[in-house]
Amino acid sequence: MSSEDAETSPLTAVMNRGACDGNRGACAGFLLNRGPRGVEAFDAVEKPLGVFSDAPGAVAAVRKSAAPAHSRFGGSVAARVLNCSASVRLVEKVPAYLRRFSADAERGTALHTAMAFLIDNARSLDGLVGETINDYTITRDDVENALRPAYVYVAQILDAPGAEFYLEQRVAFPTIPGAFGTDDLIVRIGDTIRVIDFKFGRAVRVLALSRAAADPAVDVINGQLLFYGAGARHSLPEFFAGVKDIILTIVQPVSIEPDAEMVSSVTVTHAELDEFIAAYRAACEQALSPAPHLERGAWCRFCPAKPICPLHTAPLLDLAAFAVPAPFDGAATVFATPPAKEAYLQVLADGLDLVDAIKDIRTALHDQAKRALENGDQVPGYALSAGRAERHWRDDERTAIAALESLGLSRDDVIAETMRSPKQVELRAKARGLKIPQEFIASHRSGVSLVRSENARALATPALGRGELARSFSEALEAFQEVGTHEQP
């Protein structure tokens, strides 16, 4: 050991996140205070993981090193496996580093870690602003719009008399070897347990209980929550002893629905968890069978196998095989009656249907190719180009303002004060338990948008199968050109 090492503090153990007093799990690794240099992290066998600027960053690295590899049957993919068991092997054909959605995933991981810091009293809300966790820097909007409302909600539960909890608890799913996941928060108060899952995505709202796509009259419990509930009960039998009510909860502070409730919950019975265990085991067994079930649906949203999925690539193959009908022939065509307007409009409709069918896979192809190139791999025919240069002040804001004012500029020349939009204020008000009166807000249409008719008028119109879209477009073009050829003035 060098003299420098001798002057540093001894190793401090980092324990796996646990729950009740005196039982916080096994050792995940160690920290070593290097003074001005920062905090060095080590895994459970004392292998160095790097030096970090502060303890939270080092703790996050230790816990990441202790986490098992991703489970093919984990909680985050439970709904997908239940509905499309064939997705399991398709996903395994995608290189591991391309299976993760970059920007949103980094933000979500960082905010989950930040919530753990808050619950552990390792950070304050204001102290998190500007913190960089796993390459994502937390903003003031992240704190005010996402972390604060979520923390206020869970704090009142954790402050209840007799509350005991497990935080970021790794759980194993019963009857399925290698199936595990991480429960964000498990709280017991008396004979009631709450299994809480944080959602920090800003897009589609996720519900604990929703209507089935095939039959709106049937309610379906969120598969991921059922997985976490069943896994927690199996992994923590003493904690669940004597429990009567199990409440599965999603906390999603922000979504594309500004007026949506932040909390969505459903109470389940032990029997319902048992039924889910049997159903999920059957789906996992089918996934490993020679002929697993393949089905396209809402569960495909975050599936990394879309670029190779037969149901997602079918429209591309149809489009590649599409043959444009021959153009008008002969001099007579010049004087032919223009095709009927209705035929031309049908061409537009069928063409839009075809483009819409391949929209999702285009995004998946683009994002995965970009990440592959960023990783140093070769994607034949493609390369990365330098992005647009974004100018910014070299110094911090306070120094830059002072320097500009010293040139003779007024503060109004440098600082532009603008009011936040109604949606931004509503998000911050919701975090504080306030509601903005609607008479404070006026609205006007910015224009019109093109949408499918069933979305505009809620019509129950059956959609064409993906394999039929290219053929419909081809037939529409052919019919359009035949009209122009055969109709004479």
pLDDT digits (tens, 9 = 90+) for 21-31: 333 456 778 88
- pLDDT of 82 above 90: yes
Token pair recorded at residue 484: 């122009």
Lowest mean pLDDT among 3-12, 148-157, 200-209, 236-245: 3-12
What's the pLDDT band for 483 if we cut at 50, 70, 90? low
C-beta neighbour count of 227 within 10 angstroms: 31
> Which residues are CB-neighbours of 447 under 8 A, at least 6 positions away?
none
Dig out the tokens for 192 from the structure. Answer: 């009631």
- Which residue(s) pair with 164 in the sheet? 188
Provide mean pLDDT across the span 215-243.
93
Polymer length in residues for the chain? 489
Q: Name the burial class of residue 185, with classes exposed (0-12), middle (13-18) and buried (19+) by CB atoms within 10 angstroms of its CB.
A: buried
d(CA 149, CA 155): 10
Query: From its phi and psi, is residue 121 left (phi > 0), alpha (psi between -120 and 50) or beta?
Result: left
Top-confidence residue, 214 or 78: 78
For the cut 80, the answer to whether the pLDDT of residue 292 exceeds it is yes
Q: Which domains does the chain have, with CATH numbers?
A: 3-65 (no CATH), 71-300 (3.90.320), 306-381+462-486 (no CATH)
Query: Given the DSSP bridges, would you call strands 164-172 and 48-52 parallel, antiparallel or unpaired?
Result: unpaired
Of the listed ranges 252-261, 406-415, 423-432, 449-458, the one predicted with least confidence = 449-458
Mean pLDDT of 114-137: 89
Q: Are 311 and 296 in contact (CB under 8 A)?
A: yes
Buried-state track 210-221, b at ≥16 Cβ within 10 A, e below 16: beeeeeeeeebb
Q: Residue 420 burial (CB < 10 Å; 0-12/13-18/19+)?
A: exposed
The pair of three-digit structure tokens given for residue 76, joined into one six-digit string: 């985050």
Write out the two tokens for 333.
Answer: 């065509």
- In the three-class reduction of DSSP (H, G, I as helix; E, B as strand; rest coil), residue 20 is classed as coil
Q: What is the value of pTM for the model shown? A: 0.72
212: pLDDT strictly greater than 90: no
- Contact between residue 88 and residue 179 where contact means Cβ atoms under 8 Å apart: no
Question: What is the percent of the chain where pLDDT is above 90?
Answer: 33
How confident is the prediction for the chain on average, in pLDDT? 81
Contact, 364 vs 370, CB < 8 A?
A: no
User: Is residue 224 within 8 Å of 281, Cβ to Cβ?
Assistant: no
| Sign, Cα dihedral of 111, 128, 19, 246 | negative
Residues 6+ apart with CB under 8 A from 140: 129
